[in-house]
Amino acid sequence: MSKLTLERLPLAGRRVFVRADLNAPVENGTVTDDTRLRAVIPTLRHVLDAGASVVLASHLGRPKGGPDPKYSLRPVAERLAALLERPVPLAPDCVGPDTRAQAQALKAGEVLLLENLRFHPEEEKNDDGFARQLAELADCYVNDAFAAAHRAHASIAAITRHLQPAAAGLLMQRELAALGRILEAPERPLVALLGGAKVSDKVALVEHLIGRVDGLVIGGGMAFTFLRALGHSVGRSLVEPERIETARGALEAARRRGVQLTLPVDVMVADGLESPSGRAVGIRDIPDAQMGLDIGPLTVDKFAGVLKPARTIVWNGPMGVFERPPFAAGTVAVARAVADAPAFSVIGGGDTIAAVNMAGVADRIGYVSTAGGAFLEFLEGRALPGVEALTEAA
């Protein structure tokens, strides 16, 4: 990659500001899913083993306007201490004289976790003065928060104006390598599998991918807007009327470029989300009073047939309302089809990760990205502030 990486950063005797994404779910003062914490452990161990100390920073949740005990990183500090097998004290704040004194007192091999960055509104405003205060806490900067790299926040972008060198952490490197492999030199055929509720969330992604992929498979709620664009009646299924022309344009662009764009041929319909079961109907037979909540068995077979010859697969978004057991089968079956394909597969987004875990195939996916928004924006071809801000490699 063209940016400075952690392995090339001199570390011994230095205080290293590590921006991580420790935005983990917390219930009753306990971290309930430590996936994101585990993901940053290799970077932390690398820095500590090299004889440096770590000033660790993250956000948690969306506190409004100031400190809120509900969003304290204390539970994260406790779980990190267990994972690292060393103390991880929590600073009283992320800036200020007390925090600065604690950071300056760090010895090699020690870690200090700063309190939630978003307790200060200046963080999300990319405020230069706030960034300068963060920069005073360390000697160099490492960004290992790819999941937040699409945000121009003070601890991600502005801080690098005051704290150099700024390097990519090990997780950031893995994310960029995996996604770069898709966009820059994919083994073909390259198939993109998109789901989720809304076309509007993925308009830019669809338009960008049509120029790069060999096949595009669309399921989930967003498929109904495409089906409506083709003239199908879809009952009470989710449709974005203002996006029908967008969908029609994407279908035409795919046709012109010779990209195979595959849509559902049958769906599971029911009266509503609370229905105890659904039934499969063809897309021409969706009752006016019912809605499609999952792809049907014929569509599962059709999608699996498209994925089978692929050599690179990128997937974001479930095929239906998979969090409801009656409508999970399509997403689970597609997850297994992705795992079974002889392809390098990359998935991203919380729902997609949950789907492969539900299907029991996470260990058979080529790369599971920790990111959601950053994953999509990178695939859209957009520059990510957190990556752009890093020091160029010599």
Residues annotated as catalytic are 36, 198, 350, 373
The answer to whether 314 and 379 have CB atoms below 8 angstroms apart is yes
**% helix / strand / coil in the chain, to the nearest 5?**
40, 15, 45
Q: State how far the Cα of 390 lies from the Cα of 130, in Å rounded to an integer.
A: 18
Type of residue at 67: P
3-state SS of 10-75? CCCCCEEEEECCCCCCEECCEECCCHHHHHHHHHHHHHHHCCCEEEEECCCCCCCCCCCHHHCCHH
Q: State how far the Cα of 130 lies from the Cα of 133, in Å rounded to an integer.
A: 5
- The residues facing 54 across adjacent strands are 16, 111
DSSP string, 75-98: HHHHHHHHHHTS--PBPS-SSSHH
Work out the angle at residue 171's Cα, subtended by the Cα atoms of residues 137 and 9, and round it to the nearest 5 degrees. Answer: 50
